[in-house]
Amino acid sequence: MHAPTDHSATDPLQRERDHLAASRSALKAMREDVESLDLRDVTGTWVSAAVLQNQIEQRIAALADLAHTPLFFGRLDYLHAISEHLAEDTGGGARSASGKGGGGRRAGERFYIGRRHVHDSDGDPMVIDWRAPVSQPFYRASRTDPMDVERRRRFGYTGGELTAYEDENLTDPAESDTRSALLAAEIEKPRVGPMRDIVATIQPEQDEIVRADIAGTVCVQGAPGTGKTAVGLHRVAYLLYAHRERLARTGTLVIGPNRSFLHYIEQVLPALGELDVAQATVQELVGHVEVRGADTAEAATVKGDARMAEVLRRAVRSGISLPTEPCMVIRGSRRWRVPAYELVEIIEELKDRDVRYGAAGEALPQRIAHAVLLKMEQSGEAPDDRVQDAVARNSAVKAVVKQCWPPVDPAKLVHRLLTDAEFLAECAEGILDAEEQAAIRWTKPGRSLKTAPWTPADAVLVDEAADLVQRTPSLGHVVLDEAQDLSPMQYRAVGRRCSTGSATVLGDLAQGTTPWATGSWPEALQHLGKPTAHIEELTTGFRVPEEVIAYASRLLPAIAPGLAPATSIRDTPGSLAIDRVLDGPDGLTEAVIEGCRKALAREGSTGLIAADDRIPLLAEALTEAGLPFLAPGTETSTEARLTLVPASLAKGLEYDYVVLDEPAAVVAGEPDERTGLRRLYVALTRAVSGLMVVHSEPLPEQLRG
Ligand SMILES: Nc1ncnc2c1ncn2[C@@H]1O[C@H](COP(=O)(O)OP(=O)(O)OP(=O)(O)O)[C@@H](O)[C@H]1O
């Protein structure tokens, strides 16, 4: 079927191109097969037909041949035939891709590794999904542990054309380790548009995290640009492949710091063939109330403290009271009396049980009814379940429940806590001191629940209260990016959403810019409810050039004393420029605009990062200078390559060139120096190819070498 052309027998590159062409035709055939499915033959309701149609459309989309994403990027030549166990996961009917357009093999087997599985008309695999176990040695095999792989081949593409390949003969002792030129080229590519996938170049230490077992939670501490976000997204794609059915049922979620960040990463998963992953910010997750207010740092810190969980627990249960009167149920001509002491026993027992407040409240009428039933039986009646249900609905029983276990509305409860000083004092006694209580109380409560000045931290409290009343459903897997900024109460909110699943927690302690930023990962994992999670560290940077990361790392002793500086695989001399402007504010703006022009003269994206309060002024200056610019999160393109980025939104983003305006203003924009320097550290570590720092005020002393 894939008959080699004449010169392919001698030209290995041509043979690979032939395999690519054959794989593309096979993919086309697979797509046509799905497209030709005739739904009219399917019996069933219109609902199932619609579901099926939707699935078919998704499948067709997944089988699209994307012009700029090559079908395969690597090849593995195994030394021996692979085991039955691995063969099953090649996804094909037959055992291997050997001999199919690849030139034939005798001993071992050969597999092409790509973004999705492609098979020929016989069901034989032509391209293996990168996530299949057979593909794993592509990322992990080394000269010390070749994993039965004789040769690893990487392919280079130019504009969708296969133009080069590079071999590593892992079992050849004469060959030495060399740095892959194709890997270097991939990393050097200009960064225009959304974030790209890294399937072709995942590094061994990253792969360990990507393929870690779904049962456990992994926490990754990594310096800027070490690939945390990339690893997290590839991990979701991997888990969806390896545990498709389970996760289709339970769901997966990626949590990012803000919408612009989520827009930036949004394209990666579809490119990996995965469409069904929810994305949200923590604030969106806890959206029970409309946020319209802001807290002082002090108030937000107390509200985000884990001690608030106990305050809320007390608040939720504060309405529980013990009856002093019996409950009298009248049925027909008979009266049944449950004495007060028996009701007290029932309620005490429910209080001690580890069930949600709401579930216990629902159980209470049944328990009282059960007590009535026992009395009926004792007097010779033979009541059945229906009688118990009827008794549970009896008005006397309802009255006891209403009085002793009143329903709780989470938002109303938190509203009361934040407005009623006496109630707060009662719930927070021995937990929050008077000053802390005063700090969290609203000064202007608003007239109703709707118009109350809810803050982001209040919304998290409402979420905690809601979970105390009714269990929050858990997802199968949650990826939490930029975790270092979460408060303990926010970790708890995320933890609820993966209480029966697992999580991937990604962050960098040095980039924590909230007053309550994470100080230690074990502590954060405790709040998340995953104290036994593995903590891994990534230290090789793929974004920031060595010179720039070394400069930014001067801040580390002040902002995260325990952390080692990252290294970089990118050594680009001349990547750092520092421009001191002597002629005041106008000169500064001019120099910044000049810096942007210079950066835009080169290929790729440019980010102008500045303190938030300098953004309006710079926006005006850019407009006057005739330089159009985008807001962060808006996709850059070859026509629109300049983004004006407030320092507070720079986290997680990257640009080929960064012009950083006035570092002292970035530091001064934060409530304290450490947070200011951390914000600066984030801003300094966004550049892929070059960073230009422009300043008129003196640089922070920690940066001066
Ligand atoms: N193995 C790799 N091959 C090629 N590029 C990579 C690799 N790992 C990471 N990168 C690239 O390095 C850049 C930084 O990655 P990423 O944004 O995931 O880092 P991060 O650790 O989340 O950074 P930050 O802490 O700044 O948010 C991205 O462009 C990413 O695609």
pLDDT digits over 493-545, tens only? 999 999 999 999 999 999 999 989 999 999 999 999 999 999 999 999 988 99
Residue 228 known to bind ligand: yes
- Examine the domain organization and report whether 510 and 563 are in the same domain: no
| CA-to-CA dists, residue 173 to 79, 140, 148, 229, 385, angstroms | 15, 18, 15, 36, 78
Task: Please name every residue paired with 158 in a beta bridge, in sequence order, or none if there are none.
Answer: 161
Identify the CATH number of the domain in which residue 255 sits: 3.40.50.300
Which residue matches tokens 């009248």?
330
Report the nearest-CA residue for atom 9 of ligand 1.
227
- Examine the domain organization and report whether 532 and 668 are in the same domain: no
pLDDT number for residue 264: 79
pLDDT band at 356 (very low <50, low <70, confident <90, very high): very high
Task: Say if 47 falls within a structural domain.
Answer: yes
CA 161 to chain centre: 33
Residue 225 known to bind ligand: yes
pLDDT band at 637 (very low <50, low <70, confident <90, very high): confident
pLDDT number for residue 192: 63
Task: Say if 298 falls within a structural domain.
Answer: no
> Ligand 1 pocket check: which of 189, 192, 542 to mutate, most ligand atoms within 8 Å of Cβ?
542
At 419 the three-state DSSP class reads: helix
Task: Say if 428 falls within a structural domain.
Answer: no
Report the nearest-CA residue for atom 8 of ligand 1.
227
Query: Tens digit of pLDDT for each residue in 53-87?
Result: 777 777 777 777 766 678 999 999 999 887 766 76
Measured at the alpha carbon of residue 657, what is the angle toward residues 651 and 662, in degrees to the nearest 5? 70
Q: Which range of residues forms the domain containing residue 391?
A: 327-404
What is the chain's Cα-based Rg? 31
- Examine the domain organization and report whether 130 and 269 are in the same domain: no
Amino acid of residue 599: A
Q: Which residues line ligand 1 (CB under 6 A)?
A: 186-187, 196, 198, 201-203, 206, 222, 224-230, 508, 511, 542-543, 652, 654, 685
- Examine the domain organization and report whether 23 and 162 are in the same domain: yes
3-state secondary structure 570-611: CCCCCCEEEEECCCHHHHHHHHHHHHHHHHHCCCCCEEEEEC
Q: Give the pLDDT mean for 363-368.
A: 96
**What's the 34 CA to ligand 1 centre distance in angstroms?**
36
Kindly tell me if the per-residue pLDDT of 96 is higher than 50.
Answer: no
Task: Say if 254 falls within a structural domain.
Answer: yes
Residue 227 known to bind ligand: yes
Indicate the number of domains in the chain: 4
Q: Which residue has the higher pLDDT, 390 or 652?
A: 390
Nearest atom in ligand 1 to 682's CA: 26
pLDDT number for residue 598: 96
- Examine the domain organization and report whether 359 and 230 are in the same domain: no
- Examine the domain organization and report whether 142 and 255 are in the same domain: no
**pTM above threshold 0.95:** no
Task: Say if 311 falls within a structural domain.
Answer: no
- Examine the domain organization and report whether 608 and 658 are in the same domain: yes
Report the nearest-CA residue for atom 29 of ligand 1.
543
At 396 the three-state DSSP class reads: helix
d(CA 94, CA 572): 47
**At a CB cut-off of 8 Å and minimum separation 6, what does 144 contact?**
none
Query: Tens digit of pLDDT for each residue in 212-250?
Result: 999 999 999 999 999 999 999 999 999 999 998 899 889
Amino acid of residue 113: I
The residue out of 377, 404, 431 marking a domain boundary is: 404
Task: Please name every residue paired with 658 in a beta bridge, in sequence order, or none if there are none.
Answer: 607, 691
Q: Give the pLDDT mean for 109-127.
A: 91
pLDDT number for residue 40: 63
Task: Say if 652 falls within a structural domain.
Answer: yes
CB 666 within 8 A of CB 647: yes
pLDDT number for residue 97: 45
Residue percentage of the chain with pLDDT more than 90: 68
> Ligand 1 pocket check: which of 211, 654, 680, 691 to mutate, most ligand atoms within 8 Å of Cβ?
654
Task: Say if 357 falls within a structural domain.
Answer: yes
pLDDT number for residue 193: 64
Residue 101 known to bind ligand: no
Q: Give the pLDDT mean for 665-690.
A: 95
- Examine the domain organization and report whether 164 and 212 are in the same domain: no
- Examine the domain organization and report whether 527 and 621 are in the same domain: no
3-state secondary structure 282-350: HHHHCCCCCCCCCCCHHHHHHHHCCHHHHHHHHHHHCCCCCCCCCEEEEECCEEEEECHHHHHHHHHHH
- Average pLDDT value for the chain: 89
Amino acid of residue 620: E
Nearest atom in ligand 1 to 507's CA: 25
Report the nearest-CA residue for atom 16 of ligand 1.
227
Residue whose C-alpha is closest to residue 180's, from 74, 71, 67: 74
- Examine the domain organization and report whether 397 and 512 are in the same domain: no
Query: Tens digit of pLDDT for each residue in 568-615?
Result: 988 888 899 999 999 888 899 999 999 999 999 998 899 999 999 999
Q: Is ipTM strictly over 0.95?
A: yes
**What's the 235 CA to ligand 1 centre distance in angstroms?**
14
Kindly tell me if the per-residue pLDDT of 100 is higher than 50.
Answer: no
Kindly tell me if the per-residue pLDDT of 477 is higher than 90.
Answer: yes
The residue out of 383, 404, 425 marking a domain boundary is: 404
pLDDT band at 369 (very low <50, low <70, confident <90, very high): very high
Residue whose C-alpha is closest to residue 187's, from 481, 571, 636: 571
d(CA 440, CA 299): 5
Q: Which residue has the higher pLDDT, 650 or 187?
A: 650
The residue out of 404, 438, 461 marking a domain boundary is: 404
Amino acid of residue 402: K
At 253 the three-state DSSP class reads: strand
Residue 375 known to bind ligand: no
Task: Say if 306 falls within a structural domain.
Answer: no
Element (H, E) at 115: none
- Examine the domain organization and report whether 619 and 634 are in the same domain: yes
- Examine the domain organization and report whether 265 and 385 are in the same domain: no
| CA-to-CA dists, residue 533 to 18, 77, 237, 404, 503, angstroms | 46, 36, 20, 41, 9
CB 418 within 8 A of CB 445: yes
Residue 45 known to bind ligand: no
Query: Tens digit of pLDDT for each residue in 291-330?
Result: 999 999 899 999 999 999 999 999 999 999 999 999 999 9
